[in-house]
Amino acid sequence: MKILIVDDDRFVIAALKKKIEWEKYGFSEVLTAHSMSEAQTVITSDHPDILISDINMPRGSGLDLLSWIKEHQKKIITILLTSYTDFEYAKRAVELGAFKYVLKPIDKEELTATICDAAAELKKQNSDIEEKYHVFWRKLLLRESPVGELDSMYPAEAVFTPLLFTFDHYYLDSENRLLSRIRSVNNGEMTRIFKSSYSDILKKGDTFIPIHEGSHISYAAVLQGEPDHDLLDKCCRSFIDSLKSLYNCPSNVYAGSYASINDIREQFNHLEDYMKNDLTSVQQTVFAPQKNAHDTAVGDPQIPASHIDYMIRCMSDGDYDSLAEYVHQYLEEIASLKHGSATAISNFQIDFVQALYSTLREKGISANHLYRDETYHTLSSEAVLSIYNMELYLQYMLNGAERFINASNGNKSVGKIIKDYVDKHYMEDINRQSLSQILYLDPDYASKLFKNEIGISFTNYVIEKRIEIAKDLLRTTLLPISTIASEVGYDNYSYFTRIFKKQTGSTPVEFRMQVKNN
């Protein structure tokens, strides 16, 4: 913040500059003027945020200065210093928009408190103004309102440069779980990084807003004018380096060509389209070329007709190294294009999934059950956004398939795997459909294998396990029967009692009494 002190008494100015800890209260610069004309010059050139002015000055009073500020629509919070207690002065000051006035002789504590109040008011005003800009650009860029229906907050001749920020923030841990490097970073922190990185070129009215949240995180910025190319690149690099340093998160910044308020939406759409087809950039500032009606699409790399058969053969043989090498080579072929093709990578994703599902189907594994969690849906939708995302998606798919196939080829039988799972999770909500989550096999097929091996249906085994644990708790504890019911997976007390009696011939209460009597 900048503050301007105006007083014809130089000793007053010197005392105020010395006695108040301006930096402590957030002021980066203390400007001074000794007359109304000097103050007008400083206001025009340096744009202070807060003004402290004496009322009684020769060649223009503080009230005259305040009137000039109002006439020229300058946004300055004004504190007036006065020796007058006359109500008419106070009334006139309020009419002209003064924030507060302080009586001379100046009390340091009172003035300090007033300055703090003014700083808080400035922060609130700036926040309100910033939110108005955010709402304006969200409606404009996200197509929520036609351009003609929006009241422009900028001069008619203004031009704007759009920026688009994308992040490769996902990664897989050793358990094949999907984690995000910046999921916990809120919009406020991201805005702080943006403002710090672009401080050399930011102007009032420049905006930084989230345009995609949830799984796909991206931001947009709109800068007024056409920033110097090298300076803009320096600011973008600062943002990219900050994200990498703070969160180890690779990011890209896409810069579009400047456009008028009427054309900025089209320019931003072009920037988004360019980003979607730029699959290879990592940790870069990407200056998108001007949209050209005569541009021709870059051809996709040729996909071998037999590549699905080859991937199926690798998967069936368990040769994941050869498969990974093949996939990497193909993605490198896409990356070798000057501008990668979203269509090519999307087609490859379809072919890969067909090969994997075909392999799993031959092994009796239901891929629809194996890949049904939130991680799959997130990575599947994000895969086409970059080579990095596609490789992450393929890694997740292969890791899941390889782990399950290896487990199913191990020493444990299907029946033993299911039995061990029930023994550990009997208190949870498990049923026949749970078999698809335990083994990723079709529930009917898995249930049949279980009964053939164990000699009892899956449903009956779950019931017997729960009643066995319930009987033990009734014998060895004084827990209420409703609590025991909940402990073994039955939230409904009446249903638990019926099941218990059907299995043992007595109710839980009768069973506990029998144990006590014996």
Those residues whose C-beta lies under 8 Å from the C-beta of residue 53, and which sit 6 or more positions away, are 4, 5, 6, 7, 39, 62, 65, 66, 78, 79, 80, 81
**Tally of CB atoms within 10 A around 21:** 8
Mean pLDDT of 23-52: 92
Mean pLDDT of 456-470: 94
* 6-20, 127-141, 424-438: least confidently modelled range: 424-438
Is the pLDDT score of 237 beyond 50?
A: yes
Map residue 20 onto helix, strand or coil: coil
| pLDDT, greater one: 403 or 81 | 81
CA distance 414 to 156: 72
Could you tell me the pLDDT band of residue 402, with boundaries at 50, 70 and 90? confident
Is the pLDDT score of 432 beyond 70?
A: yes
Most confident among 177-181, 361-365, 388-392, 498-502 (mean pLDDT): 498-502
Those residues whose C-beta lies under 8 Å from the C-beta of residue 222, and which sit 6 or more positions away, are 137, 141, 160, 161, 162, 163, 206, 207, 264
Q: How buried is residue 265: exposed, middle or buried, by Cβ count under 10 Å (0-12/13-18/19+)? A: middle
pLDDT of residue 214: 58
Is the pLDDT score of 339 beyond 60?
A: no
CA distance 65 to 399: 72
CA distance 351 to 229: 41
Structure tokens at 278: 């730029």
Structure tokens at 8: 């014809």
Is the pLDDT score of 433 beyond 80?
A: no
Class of domain 414-517: mainly alpha
Beta bridge partner(s), residue 287: 255
| pLDDT, greater one: 153 or 481 | 481
Q: Are 42 and 51 in contact (CB under 8 A)?
A: no
**Superfamily of 2-125 according to CATH:** Response regulator (3.40.50.2300)
Is the pLDDT score of 365 beyond 90?
A: no
Is the pLDDT score of 475 beyond 90?
A: yes
Name all contacts of 418-423 with Cβ < 8 Å and 24+ positions apart.
Answer: 418/446, 418/450, 418/458, 419/450, 419/454, 419/461, 422/458, 422/461, 422/462, 422/465, 423/465
- Whether 2-125 and 414-517 share one fold: the answer is no
Could you tell me the pLDDT band of residue 414, with boundaries at 50, 70 and 90? confident
* 45-49, 56-60, 147-151, 463-467: least confidently modelled range: 147-151
CA distance 90 to 82: 10
Could you tell me the pLDDT band of residue 151, with boundaries at 50, 70 and 90? low
Q: With DSSP H G I counted as helix, E B as strand and the rest as coil, what are the percentages for the chain, rounded to 5?
A: 55, 15, 30
Structure tokens at 167: 């992040």
pLDDT of residue 294: 43
Domains of the chain by residue range: 2-125, 154-287, 307-406, 414-517
Q: Are 81 and 54 in contact (CB under 8 A)?
A: yes
Average pLDDT, the chain: 85
Map residue 288 onto helix, strand or coil: coil
Domain 154-287 fold:
Alpha-Beta Plaits (3.30.70)
Could you tell me the pLDDT band of residue 176, with boundaries at 50, 70 and 90? confident
pLDDT of residue 293: 45
Amino acid occupying residue 314: C
pLDDT in tens, 86-126: 567 777 887 888 888 888 888 889 999 999 999 999 888 88
| Model pTM score | 0.64
pLDDT of residue 409: 61
According to DSSP H, which parts of 96-228 are helical? Answer: 108-141, 187-197
| pLDDT, greater one: 279 or 5 | 5
pLDDT of residue 304: 58
Q: How buried is residue 72: exposed, middle or buried, by Cβ count under 10 Å (0-12/13-18/19+)? A: exposed
Mean pLDDT of 200-219: 85
Kindly state the helix (H) or strand (E) to which residue 468 belongs, with its residue range. Answer: helix 458-476
pLDDT cut 90: percent of the chain above it: 39
Q: Are 171 and 177 in contact (CB under 8 A)?
A: no
Q: Which residue has the tokens 């900048």?
A: 2
pLDDT of residue 247: 94
pLDDT of residue 408: 61
Is the pLDDT score of 509 beyond 90?
A: yes
Mean pLDDT of 381-392: 87
Measured CA to CA in angstroms, residue 462 lies from 32, 429, 499 at distances of 82, 10, 12
Q: Which residue has the tokens 């708790």?
A: 473
Between strands 77-82 and 50-54, the pairing is: parallel
* 101-110, 240-249, 455-464: least confidently modelled range: 101-110
**CA dihedral of 332, 388, 164, 169, whole degrees rounded to 10:** -170
pLDDT of residue 307: 74
* 195-204, 238-247, 312-321: least confidently modelled range: 312-321
Between strands 218-224 and 100-103, the pairing is: unpaired
Q: Are 158 and 260 in contact (CB under 8 A)?
A: yes
pLDDT in tens, 291-313: 654 454 445 555 555 678 888 88
Is the pLDDT score of 45 beyond 60?
A: yes
